[in-house]
Amino acid sequence: MKQLSGLLIALIAFSVSVQSCKNKDVDKVDTTLITITNPPVEKVLTADEQAALTPDVVINSLKDGNRRFVANEITARNHSALVRSASAGQFPKAVILSCLDSRIPVEDVFDKGIGDLFVGRVAGNFVNGDLLGSMEFGCKVSGAKLILVLGHESCGAIKAAIDDVQLGNITAMLANIKPAVVRSQDFTGDKTSKNDAFVELVAKNNILNTIESIKSRSPILKEMSEQGKIKIVGAYYDLHTGEVIFL
């Protein structure tokens, strides 16, 4: 009988000990959740907030956002609330001209949300009349403070231009990129699409060509740039790290 009583006491003590540990674990988890949880962004940029921005402030905002993206610390956003907020109007910070490549989710790369950016895409991130008109709308009409031409590592359009690909409408499209290949002929080494260093050089020269083309083909954007109302800059995206290198 004494042995049975002792066994019962031991079982009760064990049960209390386990329950105590469980409660401590629960408290620990709850504390952690409270520490890392922040209120999500629920409102888009307003007209007054956009007007107060400068081109340099926007550049720094994009750089900061990219650092968060690389560190996997992107901002929490309430997309349903942002959709409702944006329905009243849009006042983006910047116009981004990006390549068509699916591996570059532009808003995510800069940790931006609904209403923050105008994004135009075309394979090889070159500029034509339609894109120039879109940029003029974004900056002159809608108040964006920055145009960013975003190229990237291992660009298929750049490689196709280097290889002089002949295929349907792709051939005509690549004519817009060919000047960057010509601009890169001083490169010492293998000038083929298999040479990553040459592909990178052509991609960066293509970015520079696009910036020059924007300024030469759009008097509106050139004037805004000269007046300091906007900046037109370029950047290069590293597919391996997610980092955006401003040129």
| Residues in the annotated binding site for Zn(2+) | 99, 101, 152, 155
List CB contacts of 40: < 8 A, sequence separation 6 or more.
75, 76, 77, 78, 81
* Residue among 69, 113, 118 nearest 92 (CA): 118
Triad 55, 59, 63: Cα angle to 5°: 170
- Annotated binding residues, written as ranges, equal 99, 101, 152, 155
Structure token digits, residue 239: 């597919």
List CB contacts of 95: < 8 A, sequence separation 6 or more.
117, 118, 119, 120, 134, 135, 138, 139, 144, 146, 147, 148
Q: Output DSSP code: residue 147.
A: E
Signed CA dihedral, 155, 161, 167, 173: sign only:
positive
Q: Could you tell me if residue 129 is left (phi over 0), alpha (psi between -120 and 50 degrees) or otherwise beta?
A: alpha
